[in-house]
Amino acid sequence: MEHTRESSTNRPPVALVTGGNQGVGFEIVKALAANGYIVYLGSRKLSNGESAAAKVGGQVHGVELDVTVQSTISAAAARIQQEHGQLDLLVNNAGISHAGKPGRTLEEVVEANRASKASLDEIRTVWETNVFGVVAVTQTMLPLLRKSPAARIVNVSSGLGSLSWIADPATWARQHFDVVYAASKTAMNAVTMSFAIELEKENIKVNAVSPGFTATALNNFQGTDSVEVGSREPIRVALDTDAPNMTFTGPDGPLQW
C-alpha cells in the first residue's frame, strides 16, 4: 500500500532525515524513497551522506548537516527552500549515546554514565546532539514545514526516555537509566511535547518513536534487535500521514511519557 500524500499540484512530498547515512536513519530514508518521497539525507560528513544516498538512488540527496553546527542546518534549509520551497516531513534521527572513549562495551558505557560519576563534558556533548540539536533543526526547518499543508515532525527517541516506565521497579532497563543518554531522551521527549502543543493549531504533528533495543553504532552493535526490525516502528510513524499528534510509541505499541 502506498502511503504517499500529494498535494493538489501532484507534488511528491519532501522529507529531511538527520543522521540518515547509517542505522535506523538509513532504513527510514530507504522506506521514504520507496514510498515516493524526495529525501534529503543529512549526514555530518557530506561524503558519507552522498555515498549513502547513492546506495538508495532515486530522489535521495545527501546533504551536510551536523545538528550541533547551525551553519550546516541553515545551509540545508536554504537548499530545500531553493529546490522545493517547503518541507513535509522532518525526521530528527541523529543521536549519540556517549561521547567518551570509543570501543567500550555497553556495560562499560553504562557504568561511566552513572549520575554519581558521569563527566559533565560528556553530558553536555551528548545533550548538544540529542536535545539542543533537535531544537535547532526543528526551529530552522519550521518556516519550510509551515509551507506544507500538513507537515509532520518525527523525533527518534528511546523507551529509556520514559520516566513512567523507568519508575516501575519491575522494569528490566531501570538500571540503565543514566544522566548522559537516557536522560537526554527524556529531555527530547519533553521538547517533542512542547513543539507538539505549540504547533497543534497549525496542523503540524509532532511525535516521538522508539526503535527498541536495536543493534546500531549507538550501542556498539550490542542491541538485541536487527536494524531492520528496529526500524519498523519509526518507518510506520514516518509514513503515517494520518497519525494523531503527540504520540510516543515503540515496537510493541504506545509508550508512557
Q: What does the pLDDT look like over 62-113, one tens digit per residue?
A: 999 999 999 999 999 999 999 999 999 999 999 998 877 778 877 788 889 9
Catalytic, out of 30, 40, 181, 205: 181
CA 23-26-103 angle, to 5 degrees, is 25
Catalytic, out of 37, 40, 185, 205: 185
- Compute the average pLDDT of residues 136-159: 97
pLDDT higher for 17 or 218? 17
Q: Is 185 marked active-site?
A: yes
3-state SS class at 43? strand
183-207 pLDDT, tens digit each: 999 999 999 999 999 999 999 999 9
The reply to whether 149 falls in a domain is yes
Residue 126: domain span: 14-254
The reply to whether 3 falls in a domain is no
The reply to whether 21 falls in a domain is yes
Burial class (CB in 10 A: 0-12, 13-18, 19+), 255: buried
The percent of residues in the chain predicted with pLDDT above 70, rounded, is: 92
Mean pLDDT of the chain: 91
The reply to whether 8 falls in a domain is no
Any idea what the CATH number is for the domain that residue 157 is in? 3.40.50.720
The reply to whether 144 falls in a domain is yes
Handedness of CA 5, 64, 30, 53 (dihedral sign): positive
Task: Give the per-residue pLDDT at 217.
Answer: 44
The reply to whether 1 falls in a domain is no
128-139 pLDDT, tens digit each: 999 999 999 999
Instruction: State yes or no: pLDDT of 218 exceeds 70.
Output: no
The reply to whether 4 falls in a domain is no
Identify the band that residue 222 occupies on the pLDDT scale cut at 50, 70 and 90.
very low
State how many domains the chain has: 1
* Eight-state DSSP code of residue 244: P
Burial class (CB in 10 A: 0-12, 13-18, 19+), 79: middle
The reply to whether 2 falls in a domain is no
